[in-house]
Every structure is written in structure tokens, then in C-alpha cells.
Amino acid sequence: MNNRHLLWIPCFLIVLVFNLAFAAIPDKKEEQLSTGVFGIIVQDQQGKEKFQPTNTVPFIEGQSYGWIIKLSPEFTKVKWKEVFELPASPDTWGAGEASGGNKISEDRKVSIIEKEVAVEDGYIQNFWSVAPGDPLGDYVIRVYINDLLLETFHFRVIGE
């Protein structure tokens, strides 16, 4: 080994120290989010509704689907934004479109909802229902909390 190779050792150590230092800084997303999950509402054997995690939504009129995010305990009120992208434009975006509660893109494939909500038992959530005229295919929901992208849910609406 010649002396030229020894010059790399301090450089390597500096890079290693910086990487370890930055690894010790918690990611804002990890600080705020305990769990984010997407799924559908199904009935159990007793007829009670329950949340079932999945990335597949059956095209059944009225089938509820959506996301639940558990935030860390210090959050009591948050501003969330949901950007919901469909593979094609639906016949309607429902009541939110009629009331102006959703911002709909010009091509009608994207809905944006923004809300400020109280965090209940550490959770926030939003659900939709399958409607006639909804397209089959790949969907994406992005959820932002206080302008920080926390979750991206990819799922597919499938026919029977």
C-alpha cells in the first residue's frame, strides 16, 4: 500500500461519520406516522362491519374502501390533503363534486380533498364507496399531513 491510498482513509471516515450522523436524525414521516393502511369494509360472521387491509377493491356498488392512519400522540388536530387518482374519469365524483368539497382536475381523473380534523384516538381516515361508472384498474391515493406526504396507497378496482 502506498501513501496515496492512505489519503482515502480520512475521506472514508468523514463520509462514514456524516452518514451515521444523518441516520440518527429521525425522519419527519416516521415521527408523525405510526401506521398507515388501506383496505375495504367487510362484514364478519356476526354481521358487524370491520376493516380488512387489502390492495384490491371488488367492483360492487356501495363497497366501502379507504385509508386509516395512526398518528403519534402529540397530534390532536391536523390538516390533511388527499390526492386521489383514477385510471380514467368516473361518471361522477359524488356529493363532494356537487357541493364543491372536492377540487376535480380538468381531465376529471383526479380529486383533491383538504380537511382540518381533530385526531380521534390517534387516528384519521377517509373512505369512498364504489359507484356505477367508476373505472376498473389501478388507483392511487396520496395522503399529506400538514403538507408532508406521508402515505401513498396503490390499489386496484377489479370486476367480478
Rounded distance, CA 158 to CA 136, Å?
6
Residue 80 CB neighbour total at 10 angstroms:
21
pLDDT of residue 13: 30
Which position has the grid cell 390532536?
Answer: 76
Asked whether 49 and 40 are in contact (CB, 8 A), the reply is no
How does DSSP assign 19-55, residue by residue?
Answer: HHHHHHSPPHHHHHEEEEEEEEEEE-TTS-EEEEE-S
pTM score, whole prediction: 0.76
Residue 35 CB neighbour total at 10 angstroms:
11
Domains and CATH numbers, the chain: 28-158 (2.60.40.1930)
Burial class (CB in 10 A: 0-12, 13-18, 19+), 111: buried
pLDDT of residue 19: 36
Mean per-residue pLDDT pooled into runs of 10, the chain (160 residues): 38 33 38 74 92 97 96 90 97 82 94 93 94 97 93 94
Element (H, E) at 19: helix 8-24
pLDDT of residue 118: 92
Rounded distance, CA 60 to CA 159, Å?
8
pLDDT of residue 34: 53
Asked whether 125 and 109 are in contact (CB, 8 A), the reply is no
